[in-house]
Amino acid sequence: MFMKYMKRRASMPVNFTRFLFLAVLFALVSPALFGPALFAADPDIFPLSQVKPGMKGEALTIFAGDQIEKFDLVVIGVMPNFLGPKESIILVQLLGPKVEHTGVVAGMSGSPVYFEGKLAGALSLKLGIFAKEPLAGVTPIENMLSLPKSQLPGTMVADASHGGAGAEEVSTAQRFDMPSDWTSRLGVPGGSFLKPIDTPLVFSGFSAAAIRQYAGELAGFGMAATQGGTADARPDDRDIKPGDMVSAVLMEGDLSLDASCTVTMIVEGRIYVCGHPLFGFGQVQMPMARGRVLTTLSSDLDSTKIVNVGGTIGAFDQDRVTAVVGHLGTAPGLIPIDMTVVTPAGDQHRAFRMISNPKISPILMGIAALNGLVQNSVYGEGTTLRLTGSIDITGHSSVTLENLFAPTDTFVPDGTSVASAVQGVFQRIFSNPYETAKIERVTLRMEALPDRRQTTIEGAWLDKSEAAPGDIVNVKVQLKPYRGSPVIRDVQITIPQQAIRGTSMQVLASDSGTLNRMSVVSGSQGRLQNLEQLISVLNRERRNNRLYVTLLGPSPTMVVQDKVMPNVPASQINLLDQRGGPASSLVMRESAAGEWSVPLEQVVQGTSSITIRIK
């Protein structure tokens, strides 16, 4: 037999022999090069139409370590159109000592469910809160496979960082009320509901105080905040299979933040996880990392997996109603953040990177800024905080960050005001309607100054009640520092040459917030035409640590795009108003005939107004 084979082989063409050799060689080495995930066989599908009550099956998940474990389940029934039109769920009861002890666990989302050895769907829903009954909803596999095809490994889609077209406006904190006939059959209280299984949001390098402050915003996405860590990258990180854990990387470096789910299936190189959305952003760009389960904590409130995040292995590009989809390969780029907290013992530096997304990135920036302050060993409540820094945007001017923040008596960390300011600027940049802002780098410097540096404007007066055009007038402003004696500051202003004799003008001593609101420049985004104009507006906004004196005249002011035009003649107002359109002007009752400011090492609050007659 062997001799016959050798004779046949000898008669083969040389080219065919080479082709056969290369094919065998590729078959042997390709799994080692690319990992088994991309070459996993397509799973046999168990259709929803064949699912019947009482049918028994099994699911795969990890409770601890890297060991994928099976547990049994039984079908209670199919709830048609439960999530929406043609989006049914399979209601199951989990069986076995572990799941009966823990209930449905945060992080179990995506655990593959099999009937007769065929893939039927992914665990995705649990029964309400404060409920350990092992009842779960299963997203049918047909609904997961109906999602748009993920982009090919190594490719990028324009504007994917901003959700792109087709973003799913679905909250993972959404609840789905159960019909009364189902609650009666299950023996659960009326008004019970199903909700997506929580996703462990693993924080590393964050303080509990910072996490608590932002827990509400994160809970809106259905995230269960947990402390965790990072694990060293391993050669087998890419060797994932159904039942393994993977994580969406939101932040990495000295601070890390990751959302973890279970792998449901791998088809044609596409990795399907969760069985429900993470954020519901639609098209996304989020790095994918390997998740390593330390243990599973049982709780009457919400059992959860404790997950460490391993090496980055690819990217998620779809975040939809029925699944999150990604692929192995190159991870998308992240925004580098350089944060410095100034202390008497020296500067403390934090370097990390975060994803670029208009909804979640501002929140991430806020919690990172707050954490940088409250985690500082010399930080204490009752101190005044100084913020400086910049946001570099590709193709545009940088946004300058500079302000002073006084502590408050409210029961929140004093650093919250700094975090909110940073978060607000990011929100306005990301939500601009002109173009996708490609942020290159963010630099933050935060300093805690001793004492509560805050002063209030108690009154103001002039050294004379009348003045002629061109005269210099001295404005005296009385300030009352916090727990200090009143002081008087002099500010000299000049009456403009074009001031109309016989009229009156207002002299306004104020804080920055009053002027920002009066000018409406800070809220004039709808009248701007491009991102550069928005950056100009952001950089022009007044600072908290300055005393402002403004001379207001009776003639109107127009705000056109990012330009403030005082003392505009009526003919020009009528002409600009007739043009209309999205960049139409805003007419204000008064014009600022002049603005002066005095820098103070205190946060200024309050206003005082005086009238001066032009003679």
Q: What is the pLDDT of residues 128-160, one digit of tens each?
A: 765 667 889 999 999 999 876 644 443 333 343
State whether 245 and 318 are in the same domain: yes
**475: its two tokens:** 């404005």
Residue owning tokens 């290159």 = 440
Q: At what angle do helices 416-430 and 531-540 cross, to 10 degrees?
A: 160
Reading phi first (left if > 0) and then psi (alpha if -120 to 50, else beta), residue 543 is in beta
Please report whether residue 355 resides in a domain.
no
Do residues 290 and 319 both lie within one domain? yes
Report the chain's mean pLDDT, rounded to a whole number: 82
Domain carrying residue 13: 2-30
Would you say 544 and 603 are in contact if contact means Cβ atoms under 8 Å apart? yes
Question: What percent of the chain has pLDDT above 90?
Answer: 51
Q: Render pLDDT for 52-75 as a digit per residue (tens, 0 to 9).
A: 999 999 999 999 988 999 999 999
Whether residue 275 sits in one domain with residue 130: yes
Contact 606, 510 (CB under 8 A): yes
Instruction: Please tell me whether residues 384 and 530 are part of one structural domain.
Output: no
Give yes or no: residues 422 and 485 share one domain: no
Same domain, 180 and 230: yes
Per DSSP (E only), the strands in 422-569 are 439-449, 454-462, 466-467, 472-481, 487-494, 504-510, 546-553, 557-560, 563-565
pLDDT in tens, 29-60: 444 333 333 334 567 999 999 999 999 999 99
Residue 411 pLDDT > 60: yes
180: CATH: 2.40.10.10
Q: Are 60 and 116 in contact (CB under 8 A)?
A: no
Do residue 500 and residue 562 come from a single domain?
A: yes
Instruction: Give residues with Cβ within 8 angstroms of 216, minimum separation 6.
Output: none
Question: Is pLDDT at 533 greater than 80 in this prediction?
Answer: yes
* pLDDT for residue 200: 85
Taking the CB of residue 351, how many other CB atoms lie within 10 A of it? 12
Mean pLDDT for 591-605 is: 91
Instruction: Give the number of domains in the chain.
Output: 4
Show which of 282, 305, 328 is a domain's final residue: 328
Last residue of a domain, one of 388, 421, 449: 449
The answer to whether 244 touches 262, Cβ cutoff 8 Å, is yes
The total number of residues shown for the chain amounts to 615
Q: What single string gives the DSSP state of each residue in 515-541?
A: HHHHH--TT-GGG--SHHHHHHHHHHS
Q: What is the pLDDT of residues 421-440, one digit of tens each?
A: 999 999 999 999 999 999 99
Phi, psi (5° rounding) for residue 32?
A: -70, -35
Domain boundary pick from 277, 304, 328: 328
My answer on whether 200 and 249 are in the same domain is yes
User: Which tops the pLDDT comparison, 228 or 87?
Assistant: 87
CA 488, 388, 426, 341: dihedral to nearest 10 degrees? -120
In this prediction, residues 301-310 reach a mean pLDDT of: 84
Give tens-digit pLDDT for 551-578. Answer: 988 765 555 544 555 555 545 545 444 4
Q: Is 240 left (phi over 0), alpha (psi -120 to 50) or beta?
A: beta
| Same structural domain, 464 and 559 | yes
How much is the pLDDT for 611?
94
Q: 244 and 125, same structural domain? A: yes
Cβ(307)–Cβ(266) under 8 Å?
no
